[in-house]
Structure 1
Amino acid sequence: MRRSAAHLLDAAHAQRTGHLERERAAREPDERRRVEAAEAARADRLDHLARNAEQTWDTVEDLIAQKSATAYDRACALLDDLRAAHVRTGDITAFEERARHLREAHGDKPALMSRFDEIGIPHPRERPAR
């Protein structure tokens, strides 16, 4: 029996699709383990930050004092992690108050304030909902 070009193309597509699906299924457990390991590492990092919050706040201040874009980016990354650590411990209000004070103290640094806006650091005039 002769096969038409359409039949041959359909068969090739089905074979390619099956092959790709098998490859995806084979990678899935590795990807799941990688994601779980990354989540566990982040949880460990946040726990460490929670235990060493004062030191981390000091590091944020030191980075801000450098007045460079790279230091501001690092400070904001730490602030984002500090917020997550405070959320984990159930003490987000303490984070928001400290962050507001940072904003008040460094309001004359537009590049830093822009970064604070990007990561959602509250303005001094905004009070947390209770």
Structure 2
Amino acid sequence: MKLHHYALLAVLGLSSPLIVAATVPPIAIAQTLPTGVFQNENWIVTLDYTNNTLAYYGESKRNGSNIYLSGASVGGTRNRRIYTWHNGDVRYQVAWQPAQTDLIRLQVFDGRGRELVNELLVEEY
């Protein structure tokens, strides 16, 4: 009987690091994404990560027009990520550097690839 208890303790002792590792939550992905409210004198852009998707809400300070897009595709490099949303032929892009989390570059392109917007936005705190 004692041998059985030692065997059980040995198995539990060996598996407990696995149990602990399985219960420790992974690093939140929001820390590796550009989330928050970014703005300059022309635009307000809110980026939010919910339901496993990055959502974009953009608003013009000039005329109040706005747009909500979700389901960004991700490109770029590890040091400069580019998140892209499409609304018909119009392409919205946010470039973000994990080393400089308080800035994004907003670019908007028409259906022919012509750049309509290219501006830096600073995170609002």
Give the TM bin, normalised by the shorter chain.
under 0.3
Query: TM-score, normalised to structure 1's length?
Result: 0.26
Larger Rg: 1
Query: TM-score, normalised to structure 2's length?
Result: 0.26
Structure number with the higher strand fraction is 2
Structure number with the higher helix fraction is 1
